[in-house]
Chains A and B, each alone.
Chain A
Amino acid sequence: MMLDEDIYLPDGLPVAYIKSINTLVVSDLHLGYEGMMAKRGMLIPKVNLRSIEDIITKSAEETGAKSIIVNGDIKNEFSNVETEEFNEMLDLIRMAERLGLRMTLIKGNHDNFVDRYREAFHLEIHSQSANIGEYMFIHGERRPVIRGRPRMMIMGHEHPAISITNEAGVRERLRCFLFGSYKGIPLLVLPAMNYFAGSTDINMADRDELLSPVLEGVNVDAMHAIAIGYGSTIDFGTISDLRRAGPRAMAGL
């Protein structure tokens, strides 16, 4: 769907495409996730990188984008770059090269120590925030210092989702974009790309359960939840509408 005249959200994918700068924007990849889980004893299969590569390939082919902005948390481990992360990052960057995508990284809280790979990977790296074209990209872990008058702010970090309970009481959780405004500037929050990562149910959570300090300055209830899933991307209306729809109607019993 078109978010506005410049931003396109490919159906069913956690990706935004910006026409004016011909770029894809994605967030919260957490590469090396399975490797980190394996260290803790959860030997889960490796699907994250493959799924991310699929999504990026599809979006690049659909839009003809020439660059990609990773809006923070490309990798998972806080403290250092692990071997698994390194290998996966290398795979991802090679794939981007194959697709003709120039990569820009906005560093997130998990992205310490990636600077040392700037040269080797030909990465453009910004710390926490960057103005590119008319847009300001932030990871979202800190309150931003707004420079200039951006057309829109785009952030990650929050891993937003909404929960919908159907008539029979089965709860469905959908990852979503959030679209609202921060101090008068339009704000788009991207869903996480990571296959396994948990997310925040925005329509169920209290304000103090939200991760990002950026959202403290936002009327979250007035934000639109644009949910993705089952091959579609659909605006579910505002968070306050979703809250009102509330718990399932009590079954007869």
Chain B
Amino acid sequence: MFCIIERVESPFSDEESLAVLNRYVREWFVGNFDELTPPQRYAFKLIAERRNTLIASPTGTGKTMSGFLSILSTLFDKAVNGTLKERVYCIYVSPLRSLNNDVYKNLTEPLEGIYQIIKEDKGVDILKDNIRNVTIAVRTGDTTQKERRRMLAKPPNILVTTPESLAILISSSKFVENMRGVEYVVIDEIHELANNKRGTHLSLSIERLQSIVGRDIVRIGLGATLHPMEEAARFLVGMDGDEPRSCAVVDTSLIKSMEVSAISPVKDMIYTPEQRIEAAMYKEIGRIVKMSKTTLIFTNTRSGTERVVFNMKRRLKYKPEDIAAHHSSLSRESRLEVEGLLKQGALRCVVSSTSLELGVDIGTIDNVIQLGSPKSVTRALQRIGRAGHTYQAVAKGEMIVLNRDDLVECTVMLDAAMKKHLDSFSVSKNALDVLAQHIVGMAIDRKWEVDEMYNVIRHAYPYATLSKEDFMAMIDYLAGNYVGLESRRVYGKIWYDKETGIIGRRGMAIRPIYMLNLGTIPDEVAINVLELKTKRWIGNIEEEFLSRLEKGDIFSLGGKLYMFSYTAGSKCYVSEAKSSAPTIPPWFSEQLPLSFELAERIGEFRAAFAESLMEMDEGEARRLISQPSIKSIPKSAKAILDALPVNEYGRIAIFRYFTEQLLFAGEVPNNRYILIEYTRDKMADTNYIIFHSLFGRRVNDTLSRVVAISLGAMLGQDISITINDNGFVVNTEEETEINEDTISTLMKRVVAADIDVLLKGNIRNTEIMRRRFRHVATRSFMILKNYMGRKMSVNRQQMNSRFLLKALEEIDPNFPILKETYREIFEEVMDIGRTRDLIGRIERGEVRYKFIETRSPSPFAHTILTFGHADVVLMKERNDYLRYLHGLVLKRIGVKGRKGRG
């Protein structure tokens, strides 16, 4: 068999597809369905040929059946000829327990149906020939001891499970005997796994399973579309030597037609009072909900979800039985209840943060409204794809925007979605903490020769390029070689003999330690917020949010403002703030980052649209935007806007936004043109250097640090930064003189910098380093959450991670746990690779930059600055500030403002 990832472009005929099925299975299928769905036209035959197959298709296209029917067919072949044994033939893995239960139900029915047909056909022969039904069971963390024992004695033919439970099963010495004959693995919602450590973990489990089975397992991946599909396929099938194993790729994700639009609720997003904008927004929501039977609303944040539900009841008079909230902070029961009501079609509207993006069957949704940008095309498509329950139906989606950057972003995003230009994803490569777990697991299973183990691991695509040095460093760590001989009994998790190169289990205790501590999802701490003086409990914040807080920062909690003082363990002390605006938005941790690709597309749009506005002269431009209407937009600019999915108000607002920027600054920054704006904010009495850099938030996160560190070194100052999707702000000390020369020296330094070294030195002392380090140390079994029958509180896990970090650095600056922490931060939180590319392009002049000085911030700087000032909850505050900034701008460009009018 030659190794190739092959896109299968043309479907098989229905006859061909049905011909591959067992006659009873076929009879059942034809009796229950009128026709094959698009993915089924590919999948039945491909899987019947036992080919690894990756299928991308929207919900409502019979995806599960497309992956399973050919498997059921071979299982019933065995049943009919009496060779079906009591053992596992097929393992189904999904990241969601609720999806497991869905699949169990959705397969039980066909199994019963098909068996019924066989019974009717065979009559009493069914007993004589010993024809049994194909069995199925779910195994997750929720499975009771009793069920587990029964499963061990009578293993199901189809095992439905999660990645974590699968990892436990392959290391359980008894149950693994039931899995030696596994022929198929089905991975559902593969798009939720391929890009994270949970998926990395699963990929190693599957390679280990394959090594236990001793021959190739047929792998089937199901999911929403991923770009590039070939990368997802490699993740699914793994490697055979240096080449990926072969895989057929079926992408029918584009079959659903869509009707989408970005909606600005008002013509003027700056001068319309906040109450009017809000009223217009709910009016718009009300209109859409009324038109549809069931509407799904995404708000991006949990607090937003609560607020929208509240307002829909208050303003639009929806009754509690018509509308429900669904987000991850709600209890499992209430989420299941909402899902149940949705399936029954009993709700008019459900509001979700992001939790309903995932594939649980939620029945008929006609319309999907998104409040604010989902920040990536792929996510936008996934959400819109929730509408239109069959693939023939049109999926309707609206994005209601909250500010002018949001408007441009959503418009460009929906255009990209219509054209199916997706953001790319990436697989986490060579994650050392996940590797640690599997080495321990493998050592528990049996003895290994070092190279034999190394080779099995490299069959998993995320570890195809794992270096022998990193692997051996991990073996050293796990063998406890970082402590003296006498303590290895406690510290060592594996036993490694350097002479013979044999790896094995160390001690009896390691098996329960492994079983109780495996997995990749870190425990999160709810931080208690207490009033400093009175020690009164105020509320909870997330640890991620705490990690961004510095002393003196002001944030809102439960509708009030507090100043952060200090933190001790899982407590955070604050005092009531006198100030009127928070310095940190509370939803920071929940906020989704703008993707690189989308940022690039926004940049391209900016360049093209700004170009089209050049035909206006200054006087004309001033006149046109003082009373803007759709008719006042010049022809070539209007042509660009008319081709985009955005409402009329939105078109006017975009036109006005860009024209103001041109009049004010003479420049519109784009993805090949970074504007570096030095400006003064009179209200806050501060100077800013604003980098209009449009490369997605992860690149901005990285680049802003490189810039700040370089500038700090130049000036001998501490520099503070504020990061946003559309740029970042750098603050220097008050008296510092910044001019063109400063910036050109700065950019030379940035270009010449070794950013790896620079960033390592910088993030060593940050909270994010400590937090990620704790996660990595926990995943690598250095900190055991669950040990000798006691569970360690996250609070204790947190303890002294600073000294622990220092101690490891002293042992070896490349200690595997440190190395992984840096990798995770550089590659998953930041984006060091693309930042390096960007700096290279700046060096070669492919991306240019220009320094300008402005007397007040230019229009495109407003949202960048506002992000640091206020948050969505206190929109009023933010609007005041925006209005103030804008007033300054209008004065400079000589347009009369329309203060106070809507």
- Rounded to whole Å, the gap between the CB of A251 and the closest CB of chain B is 4
In the complex, the answer to whether A43 meets B718 with C-beta atoms within 8 Å is no
Q: Choose the segment among B401-409, B802-810, B834-842 that binds chain A (4+ C-beta atoms closer than 8 Å).
A: B802-810
What is the chain A residue whose CB lies nearest that of B867? A253
In the complex, the answer to whether A41 meets B787 with C-beta atoms within 8 Å is yes
What is the chain A residue whose CB lies nearest that of B808? A45
What is the chain A residue whose CB lies nearest that of B869? A253
Helix, strand, loop or mixed for chain B's interface?
A: mixed
The answer to whether the Cβ of B849 comes within 8 Å of any Cβ in the partner chain is no
Known A41-B784, A171-B550, A195-B807; contact A204-B565, beta-carbon cutoff 8 A? yes
Residues of B within 8 A of A46 (CB): 483-484, 487
In the complex, the answer to whether A43 meets B800 with C-beta atoms within 8 Å is no
Known A168-B720, A253-B731; contact A47-B807, beta-carbon cutoff 8 A? yes
A44 CA to B487 CA, complexed, in Å: 11
In the complex, the answer to whether B550 meets A165 with C-beta atoms within 8 Å is yes
The answer to whether the Cβ of B13 comes within 8 Å of any Cβ in the partner chain is no
What is the chain B residue whose CB lies nearest that of A172? B765
In the complex, the answer to whether A45 meets B803 with C-beta atoms within 8 Å is no
Residues of A within 8 A of B797 (CB): 42
A47 CA to B800 CA, complexed, in Å: 14
Which one of A45, A195, A201 contacts B483 once the chains associate, using CB atoms below 8 Å?
A45
A165 CA to B796 CA, complexed, in Å: 25
Residues of A within 8 A of B786 (CB): 41
In the complex, the answer to whether B681 meets A252 with C-beta atoms within 8 Å is yes
What is the chain A residue whose CB lies nearest that of B729? A253
The answer to whether the Cβ of A247 comes within 8 Å of any Cβ in the partner chain is yes
The answer to whether the Cβ of B686 comes within 8 Å of any Cβ in the partner chain is yes
A45 CA to B815 CA, complexed, in Å: 11
In the complex, the answer to whether B782 meets A247 with C-beta atoms within 8 Å is no
In the complex, the answer to whether A43 meets B783 with C-beta atoms within 8 Å is yes
A35 CA to B484 CA, complexed, in Å: 12
Which one of A43, A169, A196 contacts B552 once the chains associate, using CB atoms below 8 Å?
A169
The answer to whether the Cβ of B486 comes within 8 Å of any Cβ in the partner chain is yes
A42 CA to B793 CA, complexed, in Å: 12
Give the residues from 477 to 500 in chain B that come closer than 8 angstroms, CB to CB, to chain A.
482-484, 486-487, 490-491
Residues of A within 8 A of B808 (CB): 45
Which one of B491, B718, B733 contacts A38 once the chains associate, using CB atoms below 8 Å?
B491
In the complex, the answer to whether A45 meets B807 with C-beta atoms within 8 Å is yes
The answer to whether the Cβ of A53 comes within 8 Å of any Cβ in the partner chain is no
Residues of A within 8 A of B868 (CB): 253
What is the chain B residue whose CB lies nearest that of A87? B486
The answer to whether the Cβ of B396 comes within 8 Å of any Cβ in the partner chain is no
In the complex, the answer to whether A35 meets B804 with C-beta atoms within 8 Å is no
In the complex, the answer to whether B550 meets A169 with C-beta atoms within 8 Å is yes
The answer to whether the Cβ of A145 comes within 8 Å of any Cβ in the partner chain is no
Residues of B within 8 A of A44 (CB): 782, 804, 807
In the complex, the answer to whether A42 meets B552 with C-beta atoms within 8 Å is no
A204 CA to B566 CA, complexed, in Å: 8
The answer to whether the Cβ of B811 comes within 8 Å of any Cβ in the partner chain is yes
Residues of A within 8 A of B563 (CB): 247
A172 CA to B482 CA, complexed, in Å: 28
What is the chain B residue whose CB lies nearest that of A253? B868
- Rounded to whole Å, the gap between the CB of B111 and the closest CB of chain A is 44
- Rounded to whole Å, the gap between the CB of B534 and the closest CB of chain A is 11
Give the residues from 862 to 887 in chain B that come closer than 8 angstroms, CB to CB, to chain A.
865, 868-869
Known A247-B551, A247-B565; contact A41-B807, beta-carbon cutoff 8 A? no
- Rounded to whole Å, the gap between the CB of B486 and the closest CB of chain A is 7
Which one of A38, A170, A252 contacts B688 once the chains associate, using CB atoms below 8 Å?
A252
In the complex, the answer to whether B551 meets A171 with C-beta atoms within 8 Å is yes
The answer to whether the Cβ of B722 comes within 8 Å of any Cβ in the partner chain is yes
Q: Give the one of B483, B766, B788 with max A CB within 10 A.
A: B483
In the complex, the answer to whether A251 meets B731 with C-beta atoms within 8 Å is yes
Give the residues from 697 to 722 in chain B that come closer than 8 angstroms, CB to CB, to chain A.
712, 717-720, 722
In the complex, the answer to whether A196 meets B804 with C-beta atoms within 8 Å is yes
Interface size counted on chain B using CB atoms at 8 A: 54
Interface size counted on chain A using CB atoms at 8 A: 36
Which one of A38, A42, A45, A253 contacts B583 once the chains associate, using CB atoms below 8 Å?
A253
Residues of B within 8 A of A34 (CB): 483
In the complex, the answer to whether B717 meets A167 with C-beta atoms within 8 Å is yes
A168 CA to B785 CA, complexed, in Å: 34
A197 CA to B565 CA, complexed, in Å: 22
In the complex, the answer to whether B686 meets A252 with C-beta atoms within 8 Å is yes
A46 CA to B868 CA, complexed, in Å: 43
Residues of A within 8 A of B720 (CB): 167-169, 251-253
Residues of B within 8 A of A196 (CB): 800, 803-804, 807
- Rounded to whole Å, the gap between the CB of A160 and the closest CB of chain B is 15
- Rounded to whole Å, the gap between the CB of B851 and the closest CB of chain A is 20
In the complex, the answer to whether A45 meets B811 with C-beta atoms within 8 Å is yes
The answer to whether the Cβ of B521 comes within 8 Å of any Cβ in the partner chain is no
- Rounded to whole Å, the gap between the CB of A31 and the closest CB of chain B is 14
Residues of A within 8 A of B712 (CB): 168
In the complex, the answer to whether B796 meets A40 with C-beta atoms within 8 Å is yes
Residues of B within 8 A of A201 (CB): 566
Known A44-B782, A247-B565; contact A38-B490, beta-carbon cutoff 8 A? yes
In the complex, the answer to whether B483 meets A165 with C-beta atoms within 8 Å is no
The answer to whether the Cβ of A63 comes within 8 Å of any Cβ in the partner chain is no
Residues of B within 8 A of A132 (CB): none
Residues of A within 8 A of B788 (CB): 39, 41
Residues of A within 8 A of B490 (CB): 35, 38-39, 43
A147 CA to B566 CA, complexed, in Å: 40
Which one of A198, A247, A249 contacts B800 once the chains associate, using CB atoms below 8 Å?
A198
Residues of B within 8 A of A39 (CB): 490, 788
Contact with A along B769-810 (1 / 0, CB 8 A): 000000000000111111110101000110110011001101
Give the residues from 216 to 233 in chain A that come closer than 8 angstroms, CB to CB, to chain B.
none
A201 CA to B573 CA, complexed, in Å: 13
Give the residues from 810 to 867 in chain B that come closer than 8 angstroms, CB to CB, to chain A.
810-811, 865
Q: Give the one of A45, A201, A249 with max B CB within 10 A.
A: A45
Q: Give the one of A38, A47, A84 with max B CB within 10 A.
A: A47
A40 CA to B782 CA, complexed, in Å: 11
Give the residues from 68 to 87 in chain A that come closer than 8 angstroms, CB to CB, to chain B.
84, 87
- Rounded to whole Å, the gap between the CB of A54 and the closest CB of chain B is 11
What is the chain A residue whose CB lies nearest that of B584? A253
A46 CA to B485 CA, complexed, in Å: 12
- Rounded to whole Å, the gap between the CB of B88 and the closest CB of chain A is 33
In the complex, the answer to whether B807 meets A253 with C-beta atoms within 8 Å is no
Contact with A along B560-581 (1 / 0, CB 8 A): 0001011000000000000000
In the complex, the answer to whether B551 meets A198 with C-beta atoms within 8 Å is no
The answer to whether the Cβ of A120 comes within 8 Å of any Cβ in the partner chain is no
In the complex, the answer to whether A43 meets B803 with C-beta atoms within 8 Å is no
In the complex, the answer to whether B787 meets A169 with C-beta atoms within 8 Å is no
The answer to whether the Cβ of B684 comes within 8 Å of any Cβ in the partner chain is yes
A170 CA to B761 CA, complexed, in Å: 13
Contact with A along B667-694 (1 / 0, CB 8 A): 0000000000000010011111000000
Residues of B within 8 A of A87 (CB): 486
A40 CA to B686 CA, complexed, in Å: 50
In the complex, the answer to whether A38 meets B765 with C-beta atoms within 8 Å is no
A172 CA to B718 CA, complexed, in Å: 14
Q: List 20 A-B contacts (CB under 8 A).
A: A40-B796, A42-B797, A43-B490, A43-B491, A44-B782, A47-B807, A167-B717, A169-B550, A171-B550, A171-B551, A197-B800, A247-B552, A247-B563, A248-B550, A251-B583, A251-B731, A252-B684, A253-B684, A253-B720, A253-B865
In addition to A38-B487, A43-B491, A45-B483, 8 A-B residue pairs with Cβ atoms within 8 Å of each other are A35-B490, A44-B804, A47-B810, A47-B811, A169-B551, A195-B803, A195-B807, A204-B566
Residues in A lying within 8 Å of B, measured CB to CB: 34-35, 38-47, 84, 87, 163, 165-172, 195-198, 201, 204, 247-253
Residues in B lying within 8 Å of A, measured CB to CB: 482-484, 486-487, 490-491, 550-552, 563, 565-566, 583, 681, 684-688, 712, 717-720, 722, 729, 731, 733, 765-766, 781-788, 790, 792, 796-797, 799-800, 803-804, 807-808, 810-811, 865, 868-869
Kindly list the 8 A-B residue pairs having the minimum CB-CB distance in the complex, ordered from nearest: A252-B686, A41-B787, A41-B784, A168-B718, A167-B718, A169-B550, A253-B868, A247-B552
